[in-house]
Structure 1
Amino acid sequence: MPLTIAPITPAIGAVVGGIDLAQPLDAVTYATVEAALLEHQVLFFRGQQITQTQQRDLAALFGPLHIHPIYPHSDSVAEIMILDTDLNDLADNALWHSDVSFSETPPLGSVLVARVLPEVGGDTLWTSATAAYAALPEPLKQLIGGLTATHDLAKSFPPERFGADAQSRERLEQAKRNNPPVTHPVVRTHPVTGLKAIYVNEGFTTHIDGLPQDASDSLLGLLFRHVIRPEFSVRWRWQPGDVAIWDNRVTQHYATDDYRPHRRVMHRATMIGDRPF
């Protein structure tokens, strides 16, 4: 079957058909997928049957892979992070965030595979931070253009949820030591497309540097609310075997936490990115 790319919304998201991700991508197919990712920011592939090793190898086409400092990973494929509600409280995913923005070099993107799903619920939403930036009034663009903000792992990984026992507490403290708070521009430029994106998120951004706390909170609140407007976003209803690939540099996402007490298991491979500018 020929490869097809069907946009879901004008701002973000496309469904890619006619491809088997269990097979290595040839250079032409990879280039087509990469171009579609740059254009649509999140791609969805239905009906895929890929192993953890194949998922890792697919993600590695985009760049070197990240190992999360807190979440568990596969025993056999260390680059595969396990998001399993039987293993962890995943409430930190049920807010809008850009993955690992607490890093000096946040992820380029991720490859996410649906392994176990609840009968109903568990959708994931993505929003385009470039579409959100483009829709800002010009005076607001001017205001935030030269600002930076602090991102902190501790904001989404508090000890009351991730330090239940001595081993967990030590892992959390080690993660904090290895990942101290970092500063990134409030407006990020995509290194390939040159598009500008709002780069603050509810998950990890604690304050805008140089502003009093009340002013920082007000401006961050405005940006948090703006970036998630429905016209910038897409909602995906997962089916077993679905794969999503997204550009973490210019998107945020939200995993709905509406399916308890049912189980949800997702496997994620994350590609290391560059320093935001």
Structure 2
Amino acid sequence: MTSPKIKKIKKKIIRKSYTIQKKIVLGFKEPYSDTLPVFILGCGRSGTTMMLDIFHRDTRIETLGEKDTKIAGKNFMLHYNKIGPAIRASKAPILVMKPILNSFDAKKLLTQYEKAVVLWIVRDYRDMIASSMKKFGDRVAAYIRNFIMHDKGDNWIVSGMKPETKKHLKTLEFGTFSDIDWMGLVWWSVNQTVLSDGLDRYEGFHLVNYESFVNDEDALKKIYGILGLDLKLSGSKLVHSKSIGKGHYVKMNSVVDGMCCELIEKLSGLFMK
């Protein structure tokens, strides 16, 4: 069995090889005249990096992650004055960006860039919670807990959460909430933005179901079709479904669980068909 450390090293090597390949293919080209901006958004640990990696393997697409200084600062938040120059400088017909910490700003991006495409990924909330707790521990849970309980913090949740969302969360009886419950509220707060901002009314907005796109190659083909491209690589080589159901053990406060369950039911009717 391959150790997680070796898997991580292999993944970095593969990504680096595609980066080099892309530099060779695009290196001598002039900036593309009409690059399509695409933003991957949603709650963290919901397959957004997986989707960016898929696009990174395609020489027709330039990719910029949340850490890329071409569009972001040291806190991994977007610098809005960098987006336009990045689009104009791109040598590819499609520029895919993943400013995941700016997901609360999806409406602003769709309004500011009328031709933009937003691919918003929604993952089962229990699986997202399990993945986030494994990756970040209690750090992100502390962000939202300190903001709601004590009005403290300087992070993406504090700067991005809608006032009406915060107002609603403050009405909850959160005295006994665990870190898992607070992570559930992170999932709820971010994905609630889809409804509160009416994002589905924008032509460029597409709500992607995580479970569908990792299980069904046709879903990946449809995503490529939205960008006006055909899928050249086999989807089975790009995604993995073994992460589905990893959060089955997650035990949540019944109120938080109910909020998340109700929201996922509402969002399911908006998923990309």
- TM-score, normalised to structure 2, is 0.26
More strand by share: 1
Instruction: Considering Cα pairs closer than 8 Å and 6+ residues apart, tell me whether 1 or 2 has the greater RCO.
Output: 1
- TM-score, normalised to structure 1, is 0.26
More helix by share: 2
